[in-house]
Structure 1
Amino acid sequence: MKFRGDNVNTTIIKDFLLQLAFIAVLILSMQIFFAERSNGENNRRVKIILSVIFGVCILFCMSFPVYTNSDFHIDIRIVPLMLGTLYLGSRTGIILSAIIILYRLYLGGVAELLTTTLVLVCSMPVFLYALEYFDKGNKYKRIQISLLLTVCYCLIGMLTVFVLRGFTLQALQVQLLHFTISIAVVLFFTALNETIQDIIRKNRQLQSDVKEAEIAFLRSQIKPHFLYNALNSIAALCLDEPRKAKELTYDLSQYLRSGFNFKQLGSLTTIENELELVKAYINIEKARFGPRLGVEYDVEANMDILIPPLILQPLVENAIRHGLMSNLRGGTVKISVKQEEDAVIHITIEDNGCGMSERQRDEILKLNADKTGIGLWNISERIRLLYGNSIRIESAEGMGTKVIFDIPAQTVRQIGG
């Protein structure tokens, strides 16, 4: 399609490639960069940044249009407008439309402003209506929807130009060129974006599967560890206090019947259930150690809040066996579970036992295959995998030890929707 010769055609191609390259570098690189950060509260910030990037792309396209002759100039603002609306939502689409109209007003030209406004007023309702189907569609359905919307946008633009500026063969050529390039570019970007999103989704699923497998392995280590110690404690009572041993065995079996069934809660349990396990374990240990073992509870939290199962009991066990019972006089373990105002559960397991040195604090969170104790390392790893946090240990020799960690408050109702 020629307008003023081969040199003009070369310039047109270069101008379109410039717009295409600018959009590709900004939009696709930013989407990849922010892909792993798009969750929760952070997702809103990512959307804002991407919206700004789409807006910059629109301003660039409108600032450096492709001039076909002295009367006509075209650009591919449809690409950032389309992607911003379909992937970031209706609010972004409306904001981007407002940016186009305001910038067109700044650039001047009554005919151009009227054309731009009419095209957006007629096409944006169609875009917003298609959002629901786009969100629910698979990769190929989304590509089809984006192509249909591009055709709709270009046809509306073509008809608007003909109505406002009259029909000429030259105008038809320009509109057909814009139509062809817009279809090709939208197809390219939508297909590429969907491919990137598909790769990211598969990568996230693989990461999630690996994390779940690792957490399941860590939890499986705690179960036999807890049972081994609990049954040893019961066995120690069988000769001297068989009735007490029988009662504790019955209590333990009753708890295990319901306490280890975490499947229905997505591998999480409530604070109430976790504290029941802690109390069952402490009852067993108190029967063994008698008045040497004291316990204090300081719980100020919604008991329905979900936490990882078997996360308190190993810490309590560690405090009792390695902190308190290392002293002949014993001591007291304090279990604190408090819900903070910022929707965080603050958990502290504290004892006034023998404490530990700084070197011991550094070593205790390292997995040592020569040791049978895995409690603190296990808990630390599970919290890191689930929440990205780590436990904090405060201790001094002869003064006791305090283990502290925070997890987000999440209830059964929130999980179920």
Structure 2
Amino acid sequence: MQRVLTSRSGVLLYLTVWLLLGLGAGGAVAALCDETMLRAQLFAVPASLLFSVAAGFSAYYMCKANPLRERSPAVILVSTLTAAVCAGFFWVFLLGVWNGAAEAFEAQAIAPRPQLVALLFSLGVMLYGLLATLNYLLAEFLRARQAEQRELESKLLARNAELRMLRTQIDPHFLFNSLNSISALTSIDPKRARDMTQRLSDFFRQSLGIEAQGKITLEEEVRLIGHFLAIEKVRFGARLGVEQEVDDAALPCLLPPMLLQPLVENAVKHGIGGLPEGGVVRIEARREGSLLTVSVENDTDPDTPPRKGNGIGLVNVRERLQAAYGHLAKLHCTQENNKYRVALTLPVETKES
């Protein structure tokens, strides 16, 4: 009840309901006591409004003292009936006091008949019982909503923990492959190995800036991919070609940090790395209404068996998409015409939205 009375609209609604009840009680007084409607309303309405305040707070504290989940039904029933009977007597008492006050100010009082007293007593008992029921219903509704909120918060915490765990898998995987490349270059081209080491250091220095962010823009992701490809170009030289086609409308869209980097890494390692003459990695992104579509495609060796798409990088990307977007995001792999393509579809999110 206190939650209802904490807002102006709640107070107005509560008093309006009781005003209507008081008017109804006044009509009963006029009918049973052969009084004019004006005098009957002046007798019933003020006392009804006073009773509404007293009964409302009494029902609230009675329900708070006897919560449904901590008291037996018998205790709750006895407590409610006892309080309701007391409330019925209190309403009759208020009406008597108000009637006596009218006599004290030399106004013509109403002579209450036994039928009227019984009616008002019964009405007070029923209204108090209704208030108690409403308090219990409101308390259960709030408890259910709080439980739902706690469940949502726990799911959010679990999802964020899962995203952080998946995010931490990327750096060791990428670092392992990069160190293998540096190790291979050390004996045949120390200068290129040093260059690659420096670029690798720069890449991780810049990636640390996005570590605390839940999501980054596609523009930032593409920039990081550019640093990664610069590292790989030190190793592959002219064998590695890069083509990018990213719509301007797609650049502000948000996605988990380094979501595309494992796909580009796989394209270089499993695609271009197996071609003696080299090949091209193509990155495309476009926004189509409420969806963002990003694809990474690379040339493949026609004599190489098709990739099954269940490597560490792809599994990681799938799990991150599932954790971040659920069924709203999709990952699809295809291999045809000597090209391997991984396409991502995810809902559009921007910093403004």
Is TM more than 0.5 here? yes
Question: 2:294 aligned with 1:375, yes or no?
Answer: no
Q: For the aligned residues, what is the CA RMSD?
A: 3.0
Please name the residue that 2:348 is paired with: 409
Q: Distance in 1 between matches of 2:14 and 2:250?
A: 54
Please name the residue that 1:158 is paired with: 21
CA displacement at 1:200 relative to structure 2:
1.4
Q: Distance in 2 between matches of 1:351 and 1:297?
A: 12
Q: Distance in 1 between matches of 2:217 and 2:171?
A: 17
Deviations 1:129-159 (A, max 9, x none): 357xxxxxxxxxxxxxxxx788535422322
Match of 2:330 among 354, 375, 390: 390
CA displacement at 1:127 relative to structure 2:
9.3
CA displacement at 1:214 relative to structure 2:
1.7
- Residues 43-82 of structure 1: matches in 2 within 5 Å? none
Deviations 1:270-321 (A, max 9, x none): 2222112211111121221122221110111343332101211100111121
CA displacement at 1:241 relative to structure 2:
4.2
Q: Distance in 2 between matches of 1:351 and 1:390?
A: 20
Contact 2:163 2:323 in 1 (8 A): yes
Contact 2:285 2:293 in 1 (8 A): yes
Residue ranges of structure 1 left out of the alignment (5+ in a row): 1-78, 87-125, 132-147, 366-372
Counterpart residue type for residue 128 of structure 2: T
Q: Distance in 2 between matches of 1:164 and 1:178?
A: 18
Q: Distance in 2 between matches of 1:241 and 1:276?
A: 27
Q: Distance in 2 between matches of 1:282 and 1:128?
A: 60
Identity of aligned residues (%): 29
> When the two structures are aligned, how many residues end up with a matched partner?
263
Contact 2:196 2:235 in 1 (8 A): no
Contact 1:274 1:312 in 2 (8 A): yes
Counterpart residue type for residue 24 of structure 2: V
Cα distance change on mapping 1:188 and 1:149 into 2, 3 Å: farther
CA displacement at 1:405 relative to structure 2:
1.3
Cα distance change on mapping 1:262 and 1:130 into 2, 3 Å: farther
Q: Distance in 1 between matches of 2:179 and 2:223?
A: 17
- Residues 250-261 of structure 1: matches in 2 within 5 Å? 250-261=198-209
Structure with max Cα Rg:
2
| Structure with higher RCO (Cα < 8 A, 6+ apart) | 2
Contact 2:250 2:292 in 1 (8 A): no
Q: Distance in 1 between matches of 2:163 and 2:131?
A: 47
Please name the residue that 2:86 is paired with: none
Secondary structure of 1:350's aligned partner: strand
Please name the residue that 2:37 is paired with: none
Residue ranges of structure 2 left out of the alignment (5+ in a row): 31-39, 41-115
Q: Distance in 2 between matches of 1:158 and 1:276?
A: 69
Q: Distance in 1 between matches of 2:231 and 2:224?
A: 11
CA displacement at 1:215 relative to structure 2:
1.6
Please name the residue that 1:326 is paired with: 274
Secondary structure of 1:325's aligned partner: helix
Secondary structure of 2:262's aligned partner: helix
* TM-score in terms of structure 1 length: 0.56
Q: Distance in 1 between matches of 2:258 and 2:145?
A: 36
Please name the residue that 1:279 is paired with: 226
Match of 1:315 among 255, 258, 263: 263
Deviations 1:137-195 (A, max 9, x none): xxxxxxxxxxx788535422322324555454455345424421321121111111111
Contact 1:237 1:288 in 2 (8 A): yes
Please name the residue that 1:230 is paired with: 178
